[in-house]
A and B are shown apart, each in its own frame.
Chain A
Amino acid sequence: MKAALIGAGQIARQHLTCMKGLPGVELVAICDLSPATAEAAAERYGIPAWFTDHRAMLEKARPDVVHVTTPPTSHFKLAMDSFEAGAHVIVEKPATSTFEELETLVRRAQAAERHLVEDYNYVFNHAPQQILQRIRSGQFGAVTHVEVLICLDILGPSGFADPNSPHPALTLAGGAIADFLPHLASLAHFFIGPHRTAQAVWAKRKPSLLPFDEFRALVDAERGTAALSFSSGSQPDAFWLRVYGEQMQATANIFETRLTFDGPRNVPKPLRPFFSGLEEGKTIRRAAVKTLLRKFKGPGAYEGLWELLTRTYRSLADRSSLPVTASDVLAVNRLVEALKPREQRPREQRS
């Protein structure tokens, strides 16, 4: 299968490194507006052709799959043109700037009988997949509630709040936090299904270029509820996922490899917390070593992206059901849409 990539920036490295190791996938072309960036990526990953015009690339390289890893506002046009050229599209999140664009994109994909896959990489990290596996096996019981909390300092001068070069995500409704909404929404979606209602609170606690730095939401979905949060004020950086089932509970820090389960035990009830604590301690110590070792090799916290790409290419090759379907993408983005702030600035900022 011939693959090409548009946008050789930061996240492209993960896509390209993963694809180099995928059987049956041939990287045929890369495109970037900067010739040097495109050429350097082509040299580094042994890609035979590089372009600065994506249309020329689509025409000459005729890829079967196009990865779109440019800033979000350009995704729509690049994906539409890729469908036009007969390719499947794997697009970085957020897939589009607006829900209307996404609907247009999905319709175009269906008309062209091509697939649109949005990168929900954290859903495919080891921990969420382990929890989903236990849910499918029946051990966990039905999920009643999911909590996702991302603690990440996004106010530093070199990232989203760079005063010299505004980050592309700042053009999205909600600013930098909007860049993380697909992560929160996709995790909720894969555990409790399409949402019915959502209530969000957006706040700005610290002076910065960002419109918001704190976000909380409560979601009611078909199979349970979710509390989704983003905090730039809470340190250290962490990505907490807690899943509450009828028989078990799971806790994971997705930035690390920590994953613990707590459930029924064959011990007298008063002793359960004691044995649970011992086992949890052992699991966390093992995870600490694993987190350290993975710093030397592999994708680290991007393991989910590698897993998603591996499964997607496998499904495309044998024409089986994709790990992320068009209905998943629509449902996740309906929730993202419901979570977005009504105003781009907090109330006190506008007076």
Chain B
Amino acid sequence: MRALVTGANGFLGRHVVAALLARGVDVRALVRPAARLDDLGWPSSLEVFRADLRTSHELAHSFDGVDVLIHLAAVVSGGEDAQFAGTVAGTERLLDAMATSGCRRLVLCSSFSVYDYSSTRRSLDESSPLHQVPEVYTRDGYTIAKWWQERLTRRFAEKYRWDLTVLRPGFIWGRDHGYLAALGQQFGRHHLVIGPLTRIPMTHVENCADVFGVAAVDPRARGQTLNVVDGPGERIWSYLSDHMRGSGQPGWRLPVPYWLAISMVRLAFATLFRRATKVPGILVPRRFESRLKPLRFENRRLQETLGWTPPLNYQQCLARTYGPAAARAAKG
């Protein structure tokens, strides 16, 4: 089996490549033309295809002999338009190319950000409501781009009758990516911890990559949409503590109850910022909720469908992220 992996040299991608190689899958890594690959430790048997999804004209050849596309690439920085152009228009060009090939199988890396947290009560799972038009356009650039990317991919899959698996990871953490937006608001070394007992929908990058490896080869994954979290998640207060200890960055933690914080944000929005069109995300109630709303998260469908349990437990993940062995582990 040969897999084409986009974003293969990214934070998640390099671990997905390792997970696929470990399952005996041949990998063709699609990376940007100027990407540096020296420190990834990829075997010489791994094929590298250099292209930029935003502009390259040769994407069709990247599918030569490919059985499954693992689409991880997304633009996560820059302005809203840059993210849309990179993530959505890039996906459009990639899937246009796939439509001209014999590849019929696709695993998409979507995101928890496609869920409408504001309309979700208590527990968030695969049946929770998604953003709708036009409400989605009030969201941040990342959310709009990921929501559209999934919408677009589903349309292609339906039109060409592809076997699609949509994986929606929560917050992916790992070495050099220990700080998560779910932790609240950072001020220098100090942290405003909003809802300290809230659990974080989190998945360690190696556990998350393992799910992609399973989904690529396991026929039970076909046609499925699965949330990817390692379990119910750590509480913000204790994870932040582990993060600060592990990263050697001491600072103060000021706890604020979630209900108090969201009430203040709602009040400020209704009074000060009602007419404002450009407000920092944390001050917009709906965006605030999608980062911090206390909900329950579980991976029951992932367990039931693929029989998956995370290969690494939380302590092992901490060791991989902050311990001395992390550098070696990250190289797969």
Contact = CB atoms under 8 A, between A and B. Distances in A.
Interface of A: 9-10, 13, 34-37, 40, 43-44, 46, 158, 163-166, 295-298, 300
Given A9-B85, A36-B92, A165-B55, A296 B278 contact: yes
A296 B88 contact: no
Contacts of A163: 33-34
A10 B92 contact: no
Contacts of A36: 88-89, 91-92, 148, 152
B33 A295 contact: no
A37 B137 CA distance: 13
9 tightest A-B CB contacts, nearest first: A163-B34, A296-B276, A164-B32, A34-B89, A10-B81, A164-B52, A44-B137, A165-B55, A297-B276
B88 A164 contact: no
Nearest to B55: A165
Contacts of A297: 275-278
B42 interface: no
A300 B79 CA distance: 15
A43 B152 CA distance: 14
Contacts of B277: 296-298
Contacts of A35: 92
B51 to A, nearest CB: 9
A165 B89 CA distance: 14
Nearest to B138: A44
Nearest to B283: A296
A295 B148 CA distance: 27
Contacts of B78: 158
Nearest to A17: B277
Interface of B: 32-35, 52, 54-55, 77-79, 81-82, 84-85, 88-89, 91-93, 133-134, 137, 144, 148, 152, 273, 275-279
B73 to A, nearest CB: 12
Given A158-B78, A165-B54, A40 B134 contact: no
B52 A165 contact: yes
A295 to B, nearest CB: 6
B26 to A, nearest CB: 25
Contact of B85 (A37, A44, A164, A166): A37
Contacts of B52: 164-165
Given A34-B85, A36-B92, A158-B82, 6 more contacts: A10-B79, A34-B89, A36-B88, A164-B34, A295-B278, A296-B273
18 contacts: A10-B82, A35-B92, A36-B88, A36-B89, A36-B92, A36-B148, A40-B88, A40-B144, A43-B137, A164-B54, A165-B54, A166-B55, A295-B278, A296-B277, A296-B278, A296-B279, A297-B276, A298-B277
Contacts of A9: 81, 85
B196 to A, nearest CB: 30
Contacts of A158: 77-78, 82
A43 B88 contact: no
Contacts of B88: 34, 36-37, 40
Which of A13, A35, A165, A295 gathers most chain B CB within 10 Å? A165
Contacts of A40: 84, 88, 137, 144, 148
Given A43-B133, A164-B52, A165-B55, A34 B82 contact: no
Contacts of A10: 79, 81-82
